[in-house]
Structure 1
Amino acid sequence: MQNTSQMALLAPLHAEVFLLIAASAILLIDMFLDEGKRWITYALSLATLVVCGFLSLADYNTGATVYAFSNMFVSDPMSNLLKVASYVAVGLTLVYSRQYAHQRGMLGGELGGEFYVLALFALLGQMVMISGNNFLSIYLGLELMSLSLYALVALRRDHAMSTEAAMKYFILGALASGFLLYGISMLYGATGSLELAEVARKAADGTVKPTILVFGTVFVVAGLAFKLGAVPFHMWVPDVYQGSPTPVTLLLGAAPKLATFAICIRLLVEGLLPLAKDWQQMLLILAVASLAVGNLTAIAQTNLKRMLAYSTIAQMGFVLLGLAAGVVGVDKGNAAAAYSSAMYYSIVYVLTTLGTFGLIMVLSRSGFEADELSDFKGLSKRSPVFALIMSLLMFSLAGVPPMVGFAAKFSVLQAVLQTGQVWLTVLAVMFSLIGAFYYLRVVKTMWFDEPADASPLVVFADTRVVLGLNAAAVVGMGLIPGPLLNACMSAITKTLAS
């Protein structure tokens, strides 16, 4: 009877429990593998993600909201949909990384078994963040993810730029964690609770001094802004993106954005909604600053990874716009549409980023990183298919119809327009037009410049297939945006109702 009750307690966490056991087993198995058999670690990692995907999809299809561990953990439609997207992001990253690692002889070194295991543990931290329903569980998930990512950034121990990037990321990450923890401690001191629903209830009933709550909220927003890479907490993004091995850059720039979006919803919407008037103003400032700095600075970049880093900052500005448009005064009627648009934008951004960095890894080879804009000169003459794929991805990031990026931007702008802030909508469109310049510059370089390198491209078959599917998804979801947008709307609506 006791075993049955324990199993029932762990049922909402079966994906997390399976991932923990599988990652630990893969770590042990990898210790006994020769370099020639490192593909086993790769295959086991992908199999683990597939099983986790089936478990989370089953939970999502039930549409139920289930709490566990004294309400510290919640399994709801939003968390399960974001987890599935995270599995896809990490899985595609591993597929794209395999050729990059193979060409550099890294399968037994820098991108050996520890790369796969750390990626899985970072994913586990993201899953805990996504399902956290308590300040403590969210922070533990954040630290598990962050510690894994710190180690991944520092994998190239003999590479000066990677070591510098790891130091910057670690120091600034510790500072951001301190901001978040200090804000949480102030909210706990004011309300006497770490549970999000209880904090929201006490913040709403007026028994707590609003000054303490606002100060706590400021520090929480600062910590979240760092994880999103929003201005002025963006200093780490360009250096870390450029200095990390490209597979690690993709691990940093994809799935963690989904987890950070989730904790924005958990902390700000579910825990601090009575203070929406305060944190929405902060998010608006962060959003406009991110759109301005990200798009304007990206124009001056010649390193493609650094350009995409500033592009990420600008893209996160749109996510923040969606989060800031949820409540108008005391009217929460726009909440579901605004938050679902931000969720949709986050998933679309991750999908497009996966293909972009995947193609950079495909064009790289031993002793050569295809991370400069000039490395893409004349790509259409070397491989018209890859040039077409990259063009579609750039059009999506720029928001050109009918790519999925246009649908994502349109959904966010529509949510902002519902709040009556026409000036903000116009400003976002203007900065998007500025941003289109540096995306289209990549397209021009590929199709109209003469190739600097005429060597043939050798690409693994699985990488070719996945890249093609990635590009097809960007086009297909742009032509038919309804299914994913409706799934995000349904997930957010059910989560807010619970």
Structure 2
Amino acid sequence: MTASTMPVLAPAYPEIWLALASMALLIFGVFRGDGSTRLVAWLAIVVLAITVLLVVLQPDATETTFGGMFIADGFGRFAKILILLGSAFSIVLSLGYIRYERMERFEYPVLILLASTGMLMMVSANDLIALYLGLELQSLSLYVMAAFKRDSGRATEAGLKYFVLGALSSGMLLYGCSMIYGFAGSTSFPLIAQALTGGGSASIGLVVGIVFLCAGLAFKVSAVPFHMWTPDVYEGSPTPVTAFFAVAPKVAAMALFVRALLSPFGEIAHDWQQIVIVISALSMLLGAFAAIAQSNIKRLMAYSSIGHVGYALIGLAAGTEEGVRGILIYLAIYLAMNVGTFAIILSMRQKDRMVEGVQDLAGLAKTHPGMALLLAAFMFSLAGVPPLAGFFGKFYIFMAAINAQLYVLAVLGVLSSVVGAYYYLRVVKLMYFDEAAEPLAKPVRGELGAVMTVTGLFTILFFVMPGPLLAAAQTAAKSLFP
């Protein structure tokens, strides 16, 4: 790398640093062996912290590199910080589990770093080819992580299901990209947008391409009807892996969904808006009703995540700056609520075994009042009860829908929230009003306790000072609408 190329690559410094650091940690782990897992994990957290710093220090202006295929702007920076925080929290959540379940292999934190590199590339994709490269780098790491617990039949099944269905979705996405290239004449987002200026309707071939592109991206965010992998993979994967799946990749895929539709196809929003409205409505309804019958808390969180993706997609359906701002606020709050909830799920133990049943939470308020209070706060927040953070996430999304005249979608969202509140409140009822058949063992202190506390305080006290997050989301959304 010569001195003259350094400024050219500046927009991609965080990704370059993360990729090089991942490879360095991989080599370090090979020489030190599996006994170095905890050290590699903490070094990975340091690497992620430095990456956040590199992202924050980037200039406010929009910059491109790699021939315009990679873009660094306010929207990308906001999403990248959320992704890196989600990845760092996921590593912290896994520290006790991988030791307890004898999964101590140094490749685990390295895989999270490599997946994070792919996610950052996805968020900054300004071209269909760059989009696919980032998506596959993330996906290949996630397939391995789902089956990381090699002696578990459930984990192996989860990894295989995820791989097979992921390959199918990648094929659909690639087919959509090839159709778009054929009918728009370019893979570059700005050139596609330029070809579509002047309004009017897109050709039928281009619309078919957009449909396939949306299908591939809907799989990545686990939106209905491409959600079928989510409950099984969430339940079968090791719990820290499930926590990771629920936060960082979800944020990255949603940010990619927003950029991939608004940047090149913003001029023809009327052609793809109906697709997003349908998958948003179906995701909210399925997430609300299917979770009611779940007895495994990880499956419950899977259906919950499907529902929350539906809410976030309302902002994309609006197709406005206000809608994108609502999505970014929603993703930030969603990340905190899910990280905190999974920290508590990872603390659920009876004697010498991990438990995942919703019924195992019975009587938690009597034996672990602090943990029960935090979990109740997370459940109320996920249900959208004011004044907790989750209420504000839904409020800004629904306001964007109303201002975009999507009244039916906003009403469906509110009704789905009411139905969804049932299964969140059932968890609270179990903790506070039912007797425990076998109480949970003393929760793990240290890292899990710290994560629960930090995310709990954010969720409970968000209303005190929401300004910084709202302002940052507003600035980020504005960069997508020059």
> What TM-score do you get using the length of structure 1 for normalisation?
0.94
Q: Deviations over 1:352-375 (max 9, x none)?
A: 111111111122478523311011
1:80 to 65, 77, 81: 77
CA contact (8 A) 2:90 2:240 kept: yes
Distance change (3 Å), C-alpha of 1:243 and 1:366 = farther
Quote how far apart the aligned CAs of 1:417 are: 0.8
* Alpha-carbon distance between aligned partners in 2 of 1:447 and 1:171, rounded to the nearest angstrom: 42
Q: Which residue of 2 aligns with 1:272?
A: 265
Measure, in 2, the Cα distance between the counterparts of 1:341 and 1:454.
40
**Contact 1:190/1:209 (8 A) holds in 2:** no
Task: Report percent identity of matched pairs.
Answer: 39
Decide whether the 8 Å contact of 2:223 with 2:306 is kept in 1: yes
Match of 1:39 in 2: 38
SS at 1:232's partner residue? coil
Q: Does 1:54 align with 2:63?
A: no
Contact between 2:348 and 2:356, CA under 8 Å: does it hold in 1? no
Q: Is the partner of 2:294 in helix, strand or coil? A: coil
**CA distance in 2 between partners of 1:206 and 1:476 (Å):** 45
CA contact (8 A) 2:287 2:305 kept: yes
**Corresponding residue for residue 184 of structure 2:** 191
Q: What residue is the counterpart of 2:432 in the other structure? A: 447
Matched, 1:172 2:169: no
Give the secondary-structure state (helix, strand or coil) at the position aligned to 1:459.
coil
In structure 1, what is the Cα distance between the partners aligned to 2:451 and 2:201?
Answer: 53
Match of 2:447 in 1: 462
Q: Deviations over 1:73-109 (max 9, x none)?
A: 11111111111111111111111111111222322xx
Aligned mates of 1:321, 1:208 — CA distance in 2: 23
Deviation at 1:400, TM superposition (A): 0.5
1:337 paired residue among 322, 325, 328: 322
Structure 2 CA distance for partners of 1:33 and 1:276, relative to 1, 3 Å: same
The residue that corresponds to 2:299 in the other structure is 306
Which 10-residue stretch deviates more, 459-468 or 410-419?
A: 459-468
SS of equivalent to 1:231: coil
Q: CA separation in 2, counterparts of 1:123 and 1:169?
A: 18
The reply to whether residue 316 of structure 1 matches residue 297 of structure 2 is no
| Residue type of the alignment partner of 1:406 | F
Give the whole-Å Cα distance in 2 for the aligned partners of 1:405 and 1:162: 31
Matched residue, 2:359: 374
Q: Do the aligned partners of 2:18 and 2:113 also contact (CA within 8 Å) in 1?
A: yes
Return structure 1 stretches of 4+ with deviation > 3 angstroms: 34-37, 205-209, 364-367
**Given the alignment of the two structures, is residue 133 of structure 1 paired with residue 126 of structure 2, yes or no?**
yes
State how many pairs are aligned: 482
Residue matched to 1:101: 98
Which residue matches 2:477?
492
1:238 aligned to 2:245? Answer: no
Instruction: Determine helix, strand or coil for the equivalent of 2:437.
Output: coil
- Aligned partner of residue 495 in structure 1, secondary structure: coil
**Paired residue for 1:330?**
none
2:202 & 2:23 partners in 1: Cα distance?
46
**Greater CA drift, 311-320 or 479-488:** 479-488
1:157, distance to aligned residue in structure 2 (A): 2.4
Matched, 1:115 2:112: no
Greater mean deviation of Cα atoms: 209-218 or 70-79: 209-218
Return the alpha-carbon distance in structure 1 between the equivalents of residues 82 and 223 of structure 2: 22
Task: Tell me which residue corresponds to 1:18.
Answer: 17
Alpha-carbon contact 1:348-1:408 (below 8 Å) kept: yes
Amino acid of the residue matched to residue 272 of structure 1?
F
Closer/same/farther in 2, CA of residues 207 and 113 from structure 1, 3 Å limit = same
Q: Deviation at 1:260?
A: 1.0
Equivalent residue number for residue 331 of structure 1: none
The change in CA–CA distance for 1:156 and 1:367 in structure 2 (over 3 A counts) is farther
Give yes or no for contact 2:361–2:430 (8 Å, CA) kept in 1. Answer: yes
TM-aligned CA distance change 1:471 to 1:203, over 3 Å: same
Any unmatched runs of 5+ in structure 2? none
Aligned counterpart for 1:383 among listed residues 363, 368, 372 = 368
Compute the displacement of 1:466 (Å).
Answer: 2.1
Note the alpha carbon deviations across 1:279-304, whole angstroms, 9 max, x for none.
11011111111111111010011111
Q: Deviations over 1:175-205 (max 9, x none)?
A: 1111111111011011221110100111224
Question: Is 1:352 aligned to 2:337, yes or no?
Answer: yes
Residue 229 of structure 1 is matched in structure 2 by 222
Tell me how large the CA RMSD over aligned residues is. Answer: 1.7
Structure 1, unaligned stretches of length 5 or more? 327-334
